[in-house]
Amino acid sequence: MAPEEKKVHMLLKSVIFHYHGLDDEERENLEETANKLEAHKELAWANQFIAEDYLTSFERAREFLNVSIGDYSKKKRVEYINMVWEANNLKGFVTELEVTAMLKLARDWRVEVELTDLIRRKLAL
């Protein structure tokens, strides 16, 4: 995975986890992801990005991600949304705040229908 894609991956996951306040499970998941992707530098960058101004971090991340992900294929954009859904669901549930954040990103990336279809399929299991 290219460094820019690692940056996108880590920021996306981090900003959604931070949307309601990062817990220990989510912190561990971020560390595991950084280990798996060899993306510790990118995780540190994402943490710094969020720490710059916690209250505006989601909106700033949206802007950054919209520019970065705008050129990705629709399939890749859906994969990213699904990755965040799966990561959040590891704790057994996804909060309303997390779903709201993911829906905003899905709308930005023009994959809102795909996200709602994914959610429906997962909830039907």
Tell me how many domains the chain contains: 1
Spatial separation of the C-alpha atoms in residues 115 and 107, rounded to whole Å: 9
Model confidence, pTM: 0.89
Say what the pLDDT of residue 40 is. Answer: 97
Asked if residues 45 and 84 have their Cβ atoms less than 8 Å apart, the reply is: no
Residue 21's domain spans which residues?
A: 3-124
pLDDT tens, residue by residue, 45-77: 999 999 999 999 999 999 999 999 988 999 999
Say what the pLDDT of residue 125 is. Answer: 64
pLDDT tens, residue by residue, 19-34: 878 889 899 999 999 9
Say what the pLDDT of residue 87 is. Answer: 87
**Cα-atom radius of gyration of the chain, to the nearest Å?**
14
